[in-house]
């Protein structure tokens, strides 16, 4: 069976490094190592934790995924319930996983990997929705403009 991909199995060291080179890198930080290799420059980890912000993890085509407000997304892991964005610089925020991620994965195991999708039942789906744009209101017509 093909397991659901987590950050630990998705973000792997480049071929010139030992396969276990990132073994001690926390799951949520692996994307930064992977991204550094791809862009060939140093990318610093965020220093701050944004209190009060959270995002729900979901399974998308057999990967645990978290979305960022900037439109980017990354593979996450239930073993490290943090995420930060390599694209927009969003600091660390909390990722909400189901109480039993293994059970969720097992519940999808009979499906072909591409069909394994799952959304947290408490996810309002509005985490990163921007406030509705306000429509400009027309100026009320004044008597002097009617002349
Ligand atoms: Zn972002």
10-residue averages of pLDDT along the chain (147 residues): 95 96 97 96 92 94 95 96 94 96 97 96 74 62 64
**Cα(4) to centroid(ligand 1), Å:** 23
**Cα(86) to centroid(ligand 1), Å:** 7
Q: Which of 120, 75, 125 is nearest to 100 (CA)?
A: 120
Q: Which of 77, 81, 86 is nearest to 38 (CA)?
A: 86
> Which residues, listed in sequence order, are joined to residue 94 by a DSSP beta bridge?
54, 82
**Cα(43) to centroid(ligand 1), Å:** 14
**Cα(92) to centroid(ligand 1), Å:** 11
**Cα(135) to centroid(ligand 1), Å:** 27
CB atoms within 10 A of CB 91: 16
What's the confidence (pLDDT) of residue 130? Answer: 55
**Cα(52) to centroid(ligand 1), Å:** 17
Structural domain spans, the chain: 7-123
Task: Give me the phi and psi of 7, to 5 degrees please.
Answer: -50, -40
Residues with C-beta atoms within 5 A of ion ligand 1: 68, 70, 72, 85, 87-88, 90
**Cα(42) to centroid(ligand 1), Å:** 17
**Cα(16) to centroid(ligand 1), Å:** 29
**Cα(84) to centroid(ligand 1), Å:** 8
């Amino acid at each position: 069976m093909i397991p659901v991909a987590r950050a630990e199995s998705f973000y792997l060291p480049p071929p010139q490094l030992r396969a276990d080179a990132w073994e001690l890198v926390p799951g949520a930080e692996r994307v930064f190592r992977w991204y550094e290799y791809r862009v060939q420059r140093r990318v610093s980890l965020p220093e701050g934790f944004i209190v009060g912000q959270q995002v729900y993890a979901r399974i998308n085509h057999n990967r645990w995924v978290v979305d960022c407000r900037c439109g980017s997304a990354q593979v996450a892991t239930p073993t490290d319930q943090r995420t930060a964005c390599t694209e927009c610089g969003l600091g660390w925020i909390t990722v909400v996983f189901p109480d039993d991620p293994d059970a969720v994965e097992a519940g999808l195991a009979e499906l072909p990997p591409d069909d394994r999708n799952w959304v947290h039942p408490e996810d309002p789906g509005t985490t990163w929705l921007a406030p509705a744009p306000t429509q400009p209101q027309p100026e009320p017509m004044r008597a002097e403009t009617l002349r």
